[in-house]
Chain A
Amino acid sequence: MLAQLNSPAMYLICGGIIAFVAVMCVVFMIRAYRAGVSLGMDTTKMKRTITASATFAVLPSVGILLGVIALSGSLGTPIPWLRLSVIGALHYETQVAEAAAEQTGITLSATQMTPTAVVTIVLLMSVCIMWGMVLSVFFTKKYSKKLKGKGDSESSTGENSGSKSIIGFGDVAMTAMFIGLVSAYIGSYIGQIKSTGNWLSLAVAAVGALAMAVFILIREKKNQEWIDGFSIAGSMIIAMAAAVFLAKL
């Protein structure tokens, strides 16, 4: 199955889509730069923006690459390459892939993967996270206009405390939703020990948690903010490496 998933045709499909998005970025970039020049903006500032953004993006991009490696064992290389080059994020892709695999009666593993499961997983990955794009197509123009109007009136009256509190709970609710999501899976790993005797999932999750604790400790104690870009992918790689050794016990 992995040979099919890593075939040149799959690279061509995924590479073609990535190339389109790359062209889109270049077009937006050139337009913005030219508009900046026409508006009389300082070109040194714009060049600094480009240089700073490029250097800022290198380390998190390497972190994302680790995510491609993590997923390449079960989904082949081209699919994670596509999903993580555009639109997706590692934590999202893995969760959705697992949910889709579960519905097709398998787990997210190369040994169980079937062509139907793969294309169902990719469809679910695409649809579940496309709402930002859909909202952009239908509402960004109106929303931006509204924001401009609001910005004008708020500049004299101060911040809108009502909308701020809604956004405040929106953030809290998102964190809580992820806590609920993670809890369902952690609970299932504990349940697996009793029903199937599989303790490996819980042990791997524990190593992942421990690795994340170390990453957070380094960031907080040594003030190394850059490590944030690696914490999820890095913890996963460490936990997956531990799985190789734990499976032999």
Chain B
Amino acid sequence: MTEERNAFFEQYDKKTHVLGRVTCSICIILFVGAPFIMGIVLGAMPDLGAFARGFLAIGPVWLVSCVAEYLIYVPMLGSGGSYLAFVTGNLINMKIPCAINARDIVGAKSGTAENEIISTLSIATSSLVTIVVLALGVLLLIPLQPILQSPTLQPAFDNVVPALFGAMAFKYYKGNLRVAAIPVLMMTLLFLFVPSMLGSVSFMIIPSGGIAIAIAYYFYKKAGTL
């Protein structure tokens, strides 16, 4: 890279950080402020006690997950791509494979100016496509709302969570049964013999996750993999 190109890229990189920090800060304010604005429309404010209990129950899982994702993905995505990806989400199922695919097509190498540009272009494009597809889909959903709200379909919408966890159980248990066996057995016995805990399932995620991590660590140390 010539001196001139170096200087230009450094200047571009500097401005990317300013823009990224400002836009990410605005997004944090918008996302956290949204429930309060919705509250004005709906005539109710968030229950901060319930929020704190919910955060204690499930927040640590996602805090650890977010930090791990941040440390792993920033080197892959570069600065501009990272700012965009952490705002637009859907990292594992779309942004990362999309950016890697674009990088492979072009043949850009990690840490280069070319990779920074390609990664930003790729993540911005994929985010825009998602926004457009969802906006069009939501427009089409509006006339379908009376059907979606019909009593016949209520059992379907009342069982969104079991539907998700069933699918996820197969996905995560497959190939990891030796890690999953003890947590699932312990949780089953707990809820069978202490039914009062059924109202606090989210609080049991931490001990259940802790046991799973300890077992995974044992196997990781033993064999170098899960």
Contacts and interface: CB of A to CB of B under 8 A. Distances in A.
Contact of A235 (B17, B62, B167, B179): B167
Interface in A29-53: 29, 31-33, 35-36, 38-41, 45-46, 48-50, 52-53
B164 A143 contact: no
B39 A119 contact: yes
Given A26-B128, A72-B141, A177 B65 contact: yes
Contacts of B16: 31
A9 interface: yes
Nearest to B39: A119
Interface string B1-30: 000010011001101110111011111101
Contact of A36 (B32, B111, B117): B117
A58 to B, nearest CB: 6
B165 A129 contact: no
A218 interface: no
Contacts of B61: 177, 181
A196 B25 CA distance: 46
A212 B170 CA distance: 7
A180 B213 CA distance: 8
Interface in A49-94: 49-50, 52-54, 56-58, 60-65, 68-74, 77-79, 81-82, 84-92, 94
Nearest to B151: A111
B54 A56 contact: no
A117 B42 CA distance: 11
A212 B109 CA distance: 35
Size class of the B contact interface (CB-based, 8 Å): 35 or more
A45 to B, nearest CB: 5
Contacts of A63: 93
A18 B127 CA distance: 11
Interface in B63-99: 63-72, 74-75, 78-80, 82-94, 97-99
A124 B51 contact: yes
Residue in A7, A107, A133, A182 whose Cβ sees the most chain B Cβ within 10 Å = A182
Contacts of B64: 173-174, 177
A95 B164 CA distance: 9
Contacts of B89: 84, 86-89, 129
A200 B198 CA distance: 15
Nearest to A112: B158
Contact of B155 (A148, A200, A208): A200
A90 B19 contact: no
B197 to A, nearest CB: 8
Nearest to B43: A115
Given A68-B137, A110-B154, A243-B155, A182 B168 contact: yes
Nearest to B94: A60
Given A119-B44, A229-B94, A111 B212 contact: no
Given A45-B118, A140-B83, A169-B217, 14 more contacts: A10-B41, A28-B120, A39-B113, A62-B133, A103-B50, A118-B38, A126-B35, A131-B62, A167-B72, A179-B212, A208-B169, A228-B93, A240-B159, A243-B163
The 9 A-B residue pairs whose C-beta atoms are closest, nearest first, are A191-B191, A187-B187, A208-B166, A73-B157, A180-B209, A205-B166, A115-B44, A131-B66, A132-B86
